[in-house]
Amino acid sequence: MSHIYFLGIGGTLMGSLAQLAQQLGHTVSGSDKALYPPMSDQLAAAGIRVYEGFEPAQLEPAPDLVVIGNAGLPRGHDAVEYILERGLAYTSGAQWLGEAVLQTRWVLAVAGTHGKTTTASMLAWILEQAGLQPGYLIGGAPMNFSQSARLGETPFFVVEADEYDTSYFDRRSKFVHYRPRTLILNNLEFDHADIFPDIEAIGTQFHHLLRTVPGGGLVIAPSNDEHLHEVLAQGVWTPVSRVGEQPVPNNRRAATESGELWSAGHTAADGAAFDVLLNGAAQGRVQWDLIGRHNQHNALNAVAAARHAGVPPEQAIEALCGFQGVKRRLEILYNDDHFTLYDDFAHHPTAIRATLEGLRKRVGNDEILAVVEPRTHTMSLGTLRHELTTCCAAADRVIWFRGENIKWDITEVAQHCVVPARVADNHQKLVQSLLKEHRPGRKKLHVVIMSNGAFGGIYQTLVESLG
């Protein structure tokens, strides 16, 4: 076997690919600008050699292949220039995955703006519980598994299919390399403003993905997503099953509609229990710890996809009752009688809204404080600033954190927020402020920290101080 070096190994995709390469028997090493949990922990547990920062000595002797990530690795980067100047063999992470792992597999791909990680985790768990021993690659840390990627023992492979571009030398979306047989399209909204000018450009990439699904496969799509209706209207050559409360309107039906509609019935207020319906007929009841209608939608997608792979709905539903969720998706970090601290990934205003609405339905009149770092490229550019003013409506208060990457005046959001809001810009002062909220004798307070990054390590500091 060969030596493969992963440049950008700390990212969720690249770190997972490194683990797959090691499982294939390759010698694996890599580097990144910064490494932090959960991926740093997984790489350490796997015994993969990693470096923070890049030095040419890391590529001596020359590896057989360099896999180059797309996060912060443009032309001009020292490592990229070193690789090009010396003529080292290189490829992108998505292309390596498609060629080295997925080419002979039954690929079940989960695409969409929201819910990819959770839905892929649910689907992998269902297949696992059905005895199918799937391979999987998930852009997060599913709590039902000890790692975010594995090769598996059967043809089935679940992959989180990201629309972000592949690399500095391949501007197509990553998912065009995966060639799924079963494709879940969760939803489609505008995101990734750093690479897409508008939602139509994203839709074009989604249609490229549709073009790779064989006629004998299955596309699972929502019945009420206008942007995905537009994508499917451009052409689809595969049967389409739907997820939603109402059938797709006649004027929006795809030419290859299967006639299947998956929906939820008899739903608990917080979403922690619901019936799974196929064309109105109950298949079983999910009862779990997850909350929110968005997770019901994710579950229906996973059940539909698992059925295409041969898992009966009742078996899939039983598996979901034991699904524990994904780290950093409303994950409880600390809890006592009057204070609960959560970590939530929250990469988009719609995701923020869905999470807080689900939490509100669960905690009733308890107080909710949302601490939001708008860190993604889209939010840091201010593209969705108007949506940010309303997405926290289910909370009682909001603290907006102004990070160094914010390119606009975040005080605008605080001033126009539909609930009381303020701006913070110092991690240490923010921690001290939150610790003052922890006091006996007050109404129960739920503090939800919402960021897709390390947030200056405030999670660990808070837990240690509260503990």
Supply 123's token pair.
């689907």
In this structure, the answer to whether residues 79 and 149 fall within a common structural domain is: no
| CATH number of the structural domain spanning residue 24 | 3.40.50.720
Which tens digit of pLDDT belongs to each residue from 191-229? 766 777 888 999 999 999 999 999 999 999 999 999 999
Report the chain's mean pLDDT, rounded to a whole number: 92
The residue among 26, 58, 92 that closes a domain is: 92
In a domain, 98, yes or no: no
% of the chain residues with pLDDT over 70: 98
| pLDDT at residue 346 is higher than 80 | no
Q: Does the pTM exceed 0.85? A: yes
Q: Would you say residue 97 lies in a domain?
A: no
363 plus 242 within the same structural domain:
no
pLDDT at residue 457, rounded to an integer: 87
- Average of per-residue pLDDT across 59-68: 96
Residues 114 and 243 grouped into a single domain: yes
The proportion of the chain whose per-residue pLDDT surpasses 90, expressed as a percent, equals 70
CATH number of the CATH domain containing 305 = 3.40.1190.10
pLDDT, position 159 = 98
The confidence score (pLDDT) of residue 381 equals: 60
Q: Which of 74-78, 237-241, 336-340, 458-462 has the highest mean pLDDT?
A: 237-241
Same domain, 229 and 372: no
Which range marks the domain in which residue 62 is found?
Answer: 3-92
Q: Is residue 326 part of a domain?
A: no
